[in-house]
Amino acid sequence: MVLYYSLLRFWMRSGDSEAFILLPSVIFGLAAILTIWAIGYRLLSRRVGLVAAFLLAVNAFHIKYSQEVRSYSLLVLLAALSMLFFARGVEQPSRKTWILYGLVTTLAIYSHLFGILLLPAHWSSLPFLPRKKVPWNGLAASTSAVVFFTLPLGAFVLKQGGGPISWVQKPTVESVGALFYSLAGGGGLPFLALIYLVGPCLFFPRVWRSAGRSVEAWHFAVVLTSLLVPIALALAFSFIKPMFVARFLIICQPALVLLTAAGLSEIRSRWLLGGLLAVVTLFAAQAVVHYYRYPSRFEPGRGDWNSASRYVRLKAEPKDAMIFYPWNCRLPFDYFGRQYPVDTANPAIIYPEDWVEAQLTRAGPNITQVQELPNRYDRVWLVLCLDRVRSQTPVAAPLAAAYNSVVEQTFPGLSISLYAAPVRGSRAGTAGISRFPLESGRIRAFHHDKRLPTELMWSHKPIAIIVERRSFQSRVSWSG
């Protein structure tokens, strides 16, 4: 998503209202509808283009991601444009068209790594073309350019490994059904999924009559491979490294919408087609309402950032720090936090200090830095989202060793843990203040230059304190 967040960073320099921040995603979503119409008109018919644009416009899955600060509506647009330029390049080859195809496909990959699946999806349609009509030179040149310009991203992904998607589970039969259900914009309504299943079936008789190597067969094939090949590849790779997630495969939505529109357009009666589309509209509207009422059913983990940000802002103290895990938890927190200006100081952000850099590096919090936090901050807020569990977070153990107490507050889709009562004297041995609970109260021990024991006054009586640091645990003995 590096492309989207880089664009967003410049976009937010002109304003930071909620409507203004969401505007790019809305624009990308609307542009995708126009592009779907253009593809349907070019490959199949004007009627198919109009029906496909209508189906995408009322699709709850598309509407959802067209109003979120994420790259998925941009990914749908770029996937549709890539198919459009590929079709134009095959039928009317020109240097300009193949340059545009290479550029758009490269941008799709930088928008989301699954954009790389567009290349095998398009190439898989070529066997349906007569050999003499395949523009090998332009196709090979554009594909080579895409590979070359995405090499830095590929090297980065290989270096990072599968950590960023370690939360993804292995796919099951239910996962494939859930993918189709999501792309159809079901939102709890099986009827919509049924329409998207029956639609392509109505188109198959026409395709069967034109089977073989022909331009007409290829028109259908490029749409079909754009739907099936990315799903098949993602499913196959998921048995090595799980990556089968519905929103990742949103690049298949343009193809699914086009196939369904092609099938529905086989209904010759305008009244019957119009009535069916009216019913689809009613169910789609209900799906959209269902999304607004129960957003977590569309995507588990959707957070109540409004309440969480207000909670932290009202309870923050001057010497507080914050860690967000994963890195993109910070974006909604910062935005909603600005809606509640309070007199308390803002906690220092330890990770991510810069969310664009975090998106590029994905290095995660510096554990050494986390272990030294008690010497600088009295309390640390740990914000977890996207179904992250505190006990499985890499910073949880160092924070638990560095602070004596932790209080967790949960909100829908996220949790906030407050670590307090720091154990002074980090791995680096920096001098500081340690607090130890005693039966009669709380004692503060001062030490300088690691010279122990140190004496202090407690209830007007000198006490010698000896502190030993072993594996971040404190052993305390005293005499009076």
Whether residue 132 sits in one domain with residue 17: yes
Q: Does 356 score more than 80 pLDDT?
A: no
Q: What CA–CA distance (Å, rounded) separates 175 from 9? A: 34
Continuous segment of H or E residues that includes residue 198: helix 190-209
Contacts of 443 (CB under 8 A, 6+ apart): 435, 436, 456, 458, 463, 465
Whether residue 458 sits in one domain with residue 398: no
Whether residue 470 sits in one domain with residue 330: no
Whether residue 267 sits in one domain with residue 329: no
Residue that is last in its domain, among 298, 328, 347: 298
In a domain, 428, yes or no: no
In a domain, 176, yes or no: yes
Please state the domain count of the chain: 3
pLDDT digits (tens, 9 = 90+) for 450-462: 333 333 333 333 3
Whether residue 348 sits in one domain with residue 470: no
pLDDT digits (tens, 9 = 90+) for 88-121: 999 999 999 999 999 999 999 999 999 999 999 9
In a domain, 123, yes or no: yes
pLDDT digits (tens, 9 = 90+) for 303-320: 678 888 888 888 888 889
Q: Does 253 score more than 90 pLDDT?
A: yes
| Burial zone of 300 (CB within 10 Å; 0-12 exposed, 13-18 middle, 19+ buried) | exposed
Beta bridge pairs of residue 448: 451
Q: What CA–CA distance (Å, rounded) separates 466 from 49? A: 79
Continuous segment of H or E residues that includes residue 143: helix 136-149
| pTM of the predicted structure, to 2 decimals | 0.71
What's the domain range around 467? 433-479
pLDDT band at residue 82 under the 50/70/90 scheme: very high
Residue that is last in its domain, among 242, 271, 298: 298
Whether residue 243 sits in one domain with residue 317: no
Whether residue 403 sits in one domain with residue 273: no
Whether residue 374 sits in one domain with residue 268: no
